[in-house]
Amino acid sequence: MTNSAIIALAAALAIAVSTIAPAIAQGLTAKSAMESIARQPDAAKDIRSTLIIALALMEALTIYGLLIAFMLISRI
């Protein structure tokens, strides 16, 4: 296997792992937030704002994986 192939596989793996884990976490977070809003509709505004901040922080992990993949691809 050539060096370019190994780098390409590493970039693909970086994208896959950095996308799957935050996607699962975002799904679980959204589920919990919806359950919380269903239990206490009065606190929906506070729960929603906290949810948006948490989702943005999780999405940053995916962006870091994309950045690493771009750095790896630039070596090919």
Residues 51-74 have pLDDT tens digits of 999 999 999 988 998 898 898 888
Domain membership of residue 14 as a residue range: 3-73
For the chain, where are the alpha helices, taking DSSP H only? 3-39, 44-73
Confidence at residue 63, expressed as pLDDT on a 0 to 100 scale: 92
Question: What's the CA gap between 21 and 23, in Å, rounded?
Answer: 5
Does the structure show a pLDDT above 90 at 41?
Answer: yes
Does the structure show a pLDDT above 90 at 76?
Answer: no
Confidence at residue 43, expressed as pLDDT on a 0 to 100 scale: 93
Q: What CATH number should be reported for the domain holding residue 24?
A: 1.20.20.10
Question: What's the CA gap between 46 and 66, in Å, rounded?
Answer: 31
Confidence at residue 51, expressed as pLDDT on a 0 to 100 scale: 94
Domain count, the chain: 1
